[in-house]
Chain A
Amino acid sequence: LAKTTQPISMDSYEGQEVNITCSHNNIATNDYITWYQQFPSQGPRFIIQGYKTKVTNEVASLFIPADRKSSTLSLPRVSLSDTAVYYCLVGDLFHNNDMRFGAGTRLTVKP
């Protein structure tokens, strides 16, 4: 499984765009990139998933460069309720469901 590296914490203010970058230098051909959000004492919640280029849904965008060695989760116009831990996971979802959650990035949104 590809090892991922994310910033331990980030601070932002309401209304700003937040970009969280995840580094995964040894990503394999079959690996997908998935991001989850977790609030304290709650289970993680799926945010977005992608393989290459850009993926956008109603809550976030995921940017993946051509070499796929990193990915950036973009949260547009964050609010206080976006304060949470964000996890980047990389894995071959066809052959391995062993999801390895790292330490994640603790995002704090301030008023």
Chain B
Amino acid sequence: DSGVTQTPKHLITATGQRVTLRCSPRSGDLSVYWYQQSLDQGLQFLIQYYNGEERAKGNILERFSAQQFPDLHSELNLSSLELGDSALYFCASSVAAGGPYNEQFFGPGTRLTVL
């Protein structure tokens, strides 16, 4: 158990819908990262927040957005869902904003299925 929690574990929805994925980082961690893992694209970095502020942006679509709240939990919002958005979405957390030896701890993931 990494200490990172994600809800829900599974989510099934239809195309065009909007969903929200939630992540609670490990106690004491200020950074939260979101990743998408699909069969054809592998594990892709989406976005990072550090202490409430966006820190780094990866291959995140405009239909997707995220935020980190004052209690440091984070939410990833996915809208206008398409079949290709079906994937495992992982959240990770770390103590610092960056630098070496800033180990990222991954949560168990949310499996999103878009029908």
Chain A residues with CB under 8 Å of chain B are 32, 38, 41-46, 49, 51, 87, 93-104
For the complex, what is the distance from the CA of A87 to the CA of B58, rounded to whole Å?
Answer: 18
Assess whether B43 is in contact with A44, with CB atoms less than 8 Å apart: yes
**Taking the complex as formed, is B108 at the interface, i.e. its CB lies under 8 A from any CB of chain A?**
yes
Proximity string of chain B (34-51) to chain A, C-beta cutoff 8 Å, 1 when within and 0 when not: 000000001111001000
Residue from A41, A51, A98 in contact with B56 in the complex, judged by beta carbons closer than 8 Å:
A98
Contacts of A102 in B (CB 8 A): 42
**Taking the complex as formed, is B66 at the interface, i.e. its CB lies under 8 A from any CB of chain A?**
no
Proximity string of chain B (88-106) to chain A, C-beta cutoff 8 Å, 1 when within and 0 when not: 1010100001111111111
For the complex, what is the distance from the CA of A98 to the CA of B46, rounded to whole Å?
Answer: 8
Assess whether B33 is in contact with A97, with CB atoms less than 8 Å apart: yes
**Taking the complex as formed, is B18 at the interface, i.e. its CB lies under 8 A from any CB of chain A?**
no
28 A-B pairs within 8 Å (CB atoms) are namely A38-B43, A42-B108, A43-B2, A43-B4, A43-B109, A44-B43, A44-B90, A46-B103, A46-B104, A46-B105, A49-B100, A49-B101, A51-B100, A93-B98, A93-B100, A93-B102, A94-B98, A94-B99, A97-B45, A97-B55, A97-B97, A97-B98, A99-B33, A99-B45, A100-B45, A101-B43, A102-B42, A104-B42
Contacts of A45 in B (CB 8 A): 2, 106
Given contacts A97-B33, A101-B44, contact A41 B88 (CB under 8 A): yes
For the complex, what is the distance from the CA of A98 to the CA of B100, rounded to whole Å?
Answer: 13
Q: How many residues of B contact A (CB 8 A)?
A: 29
Assess whether A98 is in contact with B45, with CB atoms less than 8 Å apart: yes
Assess whether A97 is in contact with B100, with CB atoms less than 8 Å apart: no
Given contacts A32-B100, A43-B2, A49-B100, contact A97 B48 (CB under 8 A): yes
Assess whether A98 is in contact with B58, with CB atoms less than 8 Å apart: yes
Residue from B44, B56, B103, B108 in contact with A97 in the complex, judged by beta carbons closer than 8 Å:
B56
**Taking the complex as formed, is B25 at the interface, i.e. its CB lies under 8 A from any CB of chain A?**
no
For the complex, what is the distance from the CA of A41 to the CA of B87, rounded to whole Å?
Answer: 11
Residue from A32, A43, A46, A87 in contact with B90 in the complex, judged by beta carbons closer than 8 Å:
A43
